[in-house]
Structures are given as structure tokens and as C-alpha cells.
């Protein structure tokens, strides 16, 4: 199925009602996407307080720019693009004044989790996703690894491996070419692999 055909028809209807000032349509879209947008931002900025504020900023921005939304793309791709841009700009501003989040740095460094991660990376077997998800210390360690990536690489890893977007959607969210997505994702995974091995 072509990407253009995947456009969520229900979202399109809600957006149309939103444009006409239907407040319930706005609330429905907020309820539908607030969790995903919060998670996306949290994974990129690694700070829950910043993520909360940036999620609110994203919805305000969506509200104020709904007239600029072109219905040829999916609403959530457009919303993600705004969320990613806001978060990356915020991170750039913070970096220039010398504040970066240390939350990921202070995440628990459990020796057992380190050994578990090393075993997974060296073992021939593939990790069991359910077991990984249940192991809080291991998850913290993986999050720490992701947070050590630079913003560009971290964003593309989050969009592909956590949000499950395809390359075309990622290109739309990041405003880049498909070729750039392929090469950047490839470099990001190689970098993440090195970071995880070094933890």
C-alpha cells in the first residue's frame, strides 16, 4: 500500500473539524497522541521535566498552525515533525548556555545489568524483547547508551526502532532525503553498537 493511502482517515476528519473550531476534535487528537509525543520527546531529550514542557509546547504549536497543515500527509507525521524540531532546537539552545541533561548519566549503573548487556551483545542468540522490557536496570543501561548518541543519531534511532516509522515517514518528519535517512540510520546503529559495547 502506498504511503499516501495510509493516511489515517479518522485523523483527517478530526483535523477538518478542528479547523472549524470543534473543541472536542482537538481533545480527541490530544488524547490519541499525547502519550506518543511525550515518549518521543523524552527519548530524545532524556529529561522528564523538559519532555513535559516540550509536549505542551508541541500541542500549542499544533493548535496555532493547524491551518498550515496540508492534508496530503498524515497528521501524526506532521505532529512528530513539530515535536522533533522543538526538541532539537531546545537542546541546541541548552547546549549553547552549557546545560545538558544529566539524568541519563545518573541512571543506575548496575553491574549485573552491564554483564547482562555484554552477554547479549556477544551471544549468538537474539535477546528476548519481553525479558529485556522486564529488566529495569538493563533498560536504564540501554537508555543511557541511546542518550550518549548525538542528537541527530538519537532522533533517527528513536523514530525507527521505538516509533516504528518507515524510512519515508522518517524523511518527512526530519525534512530530509530518503538517502540521508538510510545513511544516517546506518551510522547511528553502528555508533550505538559501539557505545553499548563500551558501557
Partner 1 sequence: MNFEQNPKIEELLNGYIDGELSADERSQVERLVSENSGVAQRLHQLEKCKSLVSSLPPAEPPAAVVAGIKELIRSHPIVAAASEANKQQGARHLFIRQALAASIIIGLVGIMGAVVYKIVGPEETATPIVAMKSAPTIKPVATPVATKPQETEKVILVAAAEDATSVGIYSLQLQTADFAAVDAYVNKLLEESPWLRYEATKDQPGKSEYKILCSRGGLEAMMNDLATVWSRFDSTTLVVHTDNLGQYVTVTSVKPEQIADIARQNTIDKRVKLAKDFAVINSVSQIMPEEKMLALTDRSLSDLTTIPKPVLTSGDKNAVTAPKGAWDKIQVDLNIVVAGHK
Binding-site string for partner 1 from residue 9 to residue 38, where x marks contact by CB under 8 A and - marks none: xx-xx--xx--xxxx--xx--x---xxx-x
Alpha carbon distance 114, 145 (integer Å) = 11
Stretches 53-61, 72-80, 86-94, 107-115: which one binds partner 1 (CB under 8 A)? 53-61
Classify residue 137 by burial, with Cβ atoms within 10 Å: 0-12, 13-18, 19+: middle
Alpha carbon distance 79, 181 (integer Å) = 19
Query: Least CB distance from residue 98 to partner 1, whole Å?
Result: 27
Among 48, 102, 108, 109, binds partner 1 (CB under 8 A): 48
The contacts found for 104-108 with CB under 8 angstroms, 24 or more apart, are 104/46, 104/143, 104/144, 104/146, 104/147, 104/148, 105/144, 105/147, 107/140, 107/141, 107/143, 107/144, 108/137, 108/140
Classify residue 110 by burial, with Cβ atoms within 10 Å: 0-12, 13-18, 19+: middle
Binding-site string for partner 1 from residue 123 to residue 162, where x marks contact by CB under 8 A and - marks none: -x-xx-xx-xx-----x--xx--x----------x--xxx
Does position 192 interact with partner 1 (CB under 8 A)? The reply is: yes
Pick between residue 98 and residue 124 the one whose CB is nearest to partner 1: 124
Does position 74 interact with partner 1 (CB under 8 A)? The reply is: no
Of 160, 144, 153, the residue nearest 101 (C-alpha) = 144
Q: In the range 96-125, which residues lie near partner 1 by CB under 8 A?
A: 117, 120-121, 124
Alpha carbon distance 53, 147 (integer Å) = 19
Residues of this chain that interact with partner 1 (CB under 8 A) are 5, 9-10, 12-13, 16-17, 20-23, 26-27, 30, 34-36, 38-39, 42, 48, 52, 55-56, 59-60, 63-64, 117, 120-121, 124, 126-127, 129-130, 132-133, 139, 142-143, 146, 157, 160-162, 164, 166-167, 182-183, 185-187, 189-190, 192-193, 196
Amino acid at each position: 500500500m502506498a504511503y499516501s493511502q495510509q493516511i489515517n482517515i479518522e485523523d483527517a476528519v478530526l483535523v477538518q473539524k478542528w479547523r472549524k473550531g470543534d473543541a472536542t476534535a482537538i481533545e480527541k487528537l490530544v488524547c490519541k497522541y499525547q502519550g506518543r509525543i511525550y515518549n518521543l520527546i523524552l527519548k530524545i531529550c532524556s529529561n522528564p521535566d523538559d519532555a513535559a514542557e516540550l509536549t505542551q509546547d508541541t500541542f500549542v504549536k499544533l493548535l496555532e498552525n493547524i491551518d498550515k497543515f496540508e492534508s496530503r500527509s498524515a497528521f501524526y507525521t506532521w505532529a512528530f515533525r513539530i515535536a522533533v524540531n522543538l526538541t532539537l532546537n531546545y537542546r541546541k539552545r541548552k547546549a549553547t548556555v552549557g546545560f545538558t541533561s544529566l539524568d541519563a548519566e545518573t541512571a543506575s549503573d548496575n553491574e549485573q545489568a552491564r554483564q547482562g548487556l555484554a552477554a547479549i551483545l556477544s551471544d549468538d542468540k537474539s535477546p528476548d524483547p519481553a525479558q529485556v522490557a522486564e529488566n529495569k536496570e538493563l533498560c536504564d543501561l540501554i537508555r543511557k547508551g541511546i542518550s550518549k548518541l548525538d542528537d541527530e543519531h538519537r532522533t533517527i534511532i528513536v523514530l525507527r526502532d521505538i516509533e516504528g516509522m518507515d524510512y519515508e515517514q522518517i524523511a518527512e518528519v526530519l525534512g530530509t532525503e530518503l538517502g540521508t535517512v538510510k545513511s544516517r540510520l546506518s551510522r547511528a546503529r553502528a555508533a550505538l553498537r559501539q557505545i553499548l559495547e563500551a558501557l
